[in-house]
Amino acid sequence: MAKEFVEKITSMDDDFAQWYTDIVTKAKLADYSSVRGSMIIHPYGYKIWENIRDELDRKIKQTGHENVYMPLLIPESLLQKEKDHIAGFAPEVAWVTHGGEEELQERLCIRPTSEVLFGEYYKNVIHSYRDLPKLYNQWSNVVRWEKTTRPFLRTLEFLWQEGHTCHETEEEAVEETEKMLNVYASLCEDLLAIPVIKGKKTEKEKFAGATFTYTVESLMHDGKALQTATSHFLGDGFAKAFGIEFLNRDGNLQTVQQTSWGFTTRIIGAMIMVHSDNRGLVLPPKAAPTQVMIVPIASHKEGVLDHAYEIKNSLKDSVRVEIDASDKKPGWKFNEYEMQGVPLRLEVGPRDIEKEQVMFVRRDTGEKRQVSVHDLKSEVEKLLADIHDELYKKASLYLKEKTLIAFTLADMENFLREDNYLIQAMWCGNKDCENEIKEKTGATSRCIPFEQESIAETCVCCGKQAEDMVYWAKAY
Amino acid sequence: MAKEFVEKITSMDDDFAQWYTDIVTKAKLADYSSVRGSMIIHPYGYKIWENIRDELDRKIKQTGHENVYMPLLIPESLLQKEKDHIAGFAPEVAWVTHGGEEELQERLCIRPTSEVLFGEYYKNVIHSYRDLPKLYNQWSNVVRWEKTTRPFLRTLEFLWQEGHTCHETEEEAVEETEKMLNVYASLCEDLLAIPVIKGKKTEKEKFAGATFTYTVESLMHDGKALQTATSHFLGDGFAKAFGIEFLNRDGNLQTVQQTSWGFTTRIIGAMIMVHSDNRGLVLPPKAAPTQVMIVPIASHKEGVLDHAYEIKNSLKDSVRVEIDASDKKPGWKFNEYEMQGVPLRLEVGPRDIEKEQVMFVRRDTGEKRQVSVHDLKSEVEKLLADIHDELYKKASLYLKEKTLIAFTLADMENFLREDNYLIQAMWCGNKDCENEIKEKTGATSRCIPFEQESIAETCVCCGKQAEDMVYWAKAY
């Protein structure tokens, strides 16, 4: 039976994890499936992904990259070619052992990422410096055999794009690594209103097989951090393992320098945990499938529906606008589209027609505003832009408020004992300290930020000479 | 070393299969990978797929469907729920038996198609007639463990969309089946200039688990047929197996009626084998990544390059136009873009600038034409439209010429002994005759066309009363 009421969700203060799950299912983003750890992405969730994907695809193409498609399955021997890589991924790949009735001579894994497939491919197609750079990207699904999973945040299978590039020089490859990190950062900030911290992962936290990993980190409502995207400088590690060589400008054989970078459906989880509230999903306008939902009031009265459709038509070229002309009660509709995070509700009733105005209600602040029908288009555009800015501002403020400085390990333990924070603390660069911090506080190093501040001279853990300021947090 | 010459391809008259493979690799569409039967889709091939996919996605949404995403992996018990379906697909699925180090309690197959996943999902979300129709589609990769494979035509893994819908009545579901077949037919004809025959598959050739299957068939250059897309009416077979029931308008429990329909990367193989020639790929303009390639002549002479870029700029809003300003010889460029099937070449040299004209060369006919720079935009649009029409006309004529009528099995055997044709012949509806025809001639029934012609009274094979005129052919 179709539900005629909107269910309430758990408050994030009572149970953050349940609040998250409630939003995922009740805003109709995704659902669990009978396949452990795999999700079903509903139309509404998939439309959000399409908006994000299309914008990222545009940026990837604009920066000179081309899309390709590599196989889903990787022979075991190929996965083993780069030793750090296989060590990192072997525990979490799914193995295909049978095709039809027949047992395979060599096992195939479902790609957890495609460095090795691109490695083999590049070895075959790159011969001269004239073949460089190679700037390829692919949109695909990958599988990682995770033990504990949550929709969008950590799933057995997820959707993503993975860029894989080859360059003549280290300098050029490092520049590419940085460029793509900036693409991700601007996507988070400009499309999704999510503030990010850009930095470098520690050796312990870097990608298996990379020389170094750049990351964009963001802070969730519960004070935990989430790695929103990463961009890896691979150096010549994979290239040497695969023999990707070219004749350089001096006529000598040289090994290419590589990068890889990825952005996943996980971002939808981040978007939920950065913006949403106890009434449901809050969507940043640029990612919202429906930016304006028109709800006719007393729609049986003459002229109301016609007027509502006229308004829809006048807006449909500039924003994504829908109308709910169903016979459900306006109150039900208000709740439903609040739950679904539609940025703007537009109410139009008999009195509004007379007055040549409509009523706007913002999802983020609840603020109501009368607008003349003659200023509709420009007002809608202004309101949507304003919602984006406000969401970004609010999230930035939260990030600032939830960031604490720690001078000692005891500080960190105290801060993180009963709540979650993003911690700024100096670090000596030693993995032992990193391990001890994690053991005592539950926090991992999130990144060594590009924007450094010298908080103290000594490491928060061992007290020896510090190298960098590092962000630490419990993380998704 | 970058190749400085364009390699010749095998003539289709000498070796059709090799001609096909040559085009796939030398026009840089796709390549073999180290994963048996899987291909690497190059940027150029992938751009063609993006053009086709985007247009089909537009049509799918325009007809009221929404995109979703279902898991890649299917538990064995779920696949077995519909008995005809598992019988059809069991021999050709890939089985995952291990996740990381751990052996799974239940095997998972990589989806060969997703009827069972949608079946389980629909059972959970459909309760009332108000929840119907459900019109979902997904873009995904699927794996079928094929013995012999060829790029695009038959690969272990391929990309596709699969639509899955639920309806209140049989009538509505049959209408949907037909509607989506028409979407596919118009995509083939209007976008790809491929003429198709619309019809119904015989019982023997229908989809495993369907009540009936509609198909669009086309004829390749070698006289073999290719099934370009199919649309299935599933009746209530899956729905009963999965228990997809709803409270109908009378308040009684009723089982839904379903459809499914799919369109794959195989279409790129069809496009090659319908339009291309012995000089390489010929692309229908609407699917071509580059519709117009500008080749500057004597580009070192003053003004030539500037003029070429001016022309590019004047065209770039209306067509997909590129310029090759590299230092390669014009002759090399001519050959290269002929190999790649770019519909129009635009040459611009010093004399053209003086005369305020450019030279157009058509890929399909080789025809050259001088065009005034003042009529450029409209002339390019006209030429591209004309190329599309000519390709369609030529392919239609070929289809007509290669279609023969057979009255007896001996006719069919004679026709198909040394060459391939599309054969029209009457059929009694008996599977024994269908099997005998296949055994004796190698031809399978392609479809019972919607446009029937009464050729004779009796079955081409057994001589008994005929039911339908059927198209027969050897097929991909």
Find chain A residues with C-beta within 8 A of B38's C-beta: 71-73
Q: pLDDT confidence of A7, banded at 50, 70, 90?
A: low
What mean pLDDT comes out for the span A320-324? Answer: 97
- Asked if the C-beta of A38 comes within 8 angstroms of chain B's C-beta atoms, the answer is yes
Measured between alpha carbons, how far is A225 from A218 in angstroms, rounded to an integer? Answer: 6
Distance in Å, alpha carbon of B293 to nearest chain A alpha carbon: 18
pLDDT at A3 over 50: no
Tell which B residues from 383 to 402 touch A, by Cβ distance under 8 Å. Answer: none
- Asked if the C-beta of A239 comes within 8 angstroms of chain B's C-beta atoms, the answer is no
- CATH number corresponding to A290-385: 3.40.50.800
DSSP strand pairing (A212-219 vs A102-110):
unpaired
- pLDDT for B278: 96
Sequence ranges of chain A with CATH classification 3.30.930.10: 16-275
Measured between alpha carbons, how far is B315 from B308 in angstroms, rounded to an integer? Answer: 11
pTM: 0.95
pLDDT at B75 over 50: yes
Size of interface A-B (CB pairs under 8 A): 164
Find chain A residues with C-beta within 8 A of B106's C-beta: none
Find chain A residues with C-beta within 8 A of B31's C-beta: 121, 124
CATH topology of domain B16-275: BirA Bifunctional Protein; domain 2 (3.30.930)
- Asked if the C-beta of A156 comes within 8 angstroms of chain B's C-beta atoms, the answer is yes
**pLDDT tens by residue, A375-411:** 999 999 999 999 999 999 999 999 999 999 999 999 9
- pLDDT for A403: 97
Q: What is the CA radius of gyration of chain B?
A: 25
Measured between alpha carbons, how far is A338 from A354 in angstroms, rounded to an integer? Answer: 27
Order the strands of the B102-110 sheet from edge to edge: A73-75, A102-110, A94-99, B94-99, B102-110, B73-75
When CB atoms are compared, the residue of B95, B102, B140 closest to A97 is: B95
Question: Which residue in this structure is represented by tokens 């604490």?
Answer: A404
Is the ipTM, as predicted for this complex, more than 0.90? yes
- pLDDT for B7: 66
Q: pLDDT confidence of B4, banded at 50, 70, 90?
A: very low
Q: Which residues contact A179 (CB under 8 A, 6 or more apart)?
A: A63
Measured between alpha carbons, how far is A211 from A257 in angstroms, rounded to an integer? Answer: 11
> Distance from first CA to last CA of chain B, Å, rounded?
36
Contact A94 B73 (CB under 8 A): yes
- Asked if the C-beta of A404 comes within 8 angstroms of chain B's C-beta atoms, the answer is no
**pLDDT tens by residue, B134-161:** 999 999 999 999 988 999 999 999 999 9
What mean pLDDT comes out for the span B197-216? Answer: 96
What mean pLDDT comes out for the span B54-82? Answer: 96
Which residue on chain A is closest to B39 by alpha carbon? A71
Q: pLDDT confidence of A84, banded at 50, 70, 90?
A: confident
| Tokens describing residue B377 | 């935009």
- pLDDT for B88: 83
When CB atoms are compared, the residue of A2, A46, A69 closest to B130 is: A2
- Asked if the C-beta of B453 comes within 8 angstroms of chain A's C-beta atoms, the answer is no
pLDDT at B5 over 70: no
Q: What is the CA radius of gyration of chain A?
A: 25
Sequence ranges of chain A with CATH classification 3.40.50.800: 290-385
**pLDDT tens by residue, A264-288:** 999 999 999 999 999 999 999 999 9
Measured between alpha carbons, how far is B420 from B317 in angstroms, rounded to an integer? Answer: 44
Find chain A residues with C-beta within 8 A of B156's C-beta: 71, 73
**pLDDT tens by residue, B243-265:** 999 999 999 999 999 999 999 99
Measured between alpha carbons, how far is A354 from B412 in angstroms, rounded to an integer? Answer: 76
pLDDT at A433 over 70: yes
- Mean pLDDT over all residues of chain A? 95
**pLDDT tens by residue, B212-242:** 999 999 999 999 999 999 999 999 999 999 9
- CATH number corresponding to B403-473: 3.30.110.30
Q: pLDDT confidence of B87, banded at 50, 70, 90?
A: confident
Residue B472, classed as helix, strand or coil, is strand
Find chain B residues with C-beta within 8 A of A67's C-beta: 43, 46-47, 50
Question: For chain B, give me the number of helices (H) and strands (E)?
Answer: 14, 23
Mutating which of A80, A95, A114 best tests the B interface, going by the most B Cβ atoms within 10 A? Answer: A95
- Asked if the C-beta of B140 comes within 8 angstroms of chain A's C-beta atoms, the answer is yes
When CB atoms are compared, the residue of A38, A102, A124 closest to B71 is: A38
Contact A68 B128 (CB under 8 A): no
Provide long-range contacts, Cβ within 8 A and 24+ apart, for B304-308.
B304/B348, B304/B349, B304/B350, B304/B353, B307/B348, B307/B352, B307/B353, B308/B348
Sequence ranges of chain B with CATH classification 3.30.110.30: 403-473
When CB atoms are compared, the residue of B39, B67, B141 closest to A43 is: B67
Contact B96 A91 (CB under 8 A): no
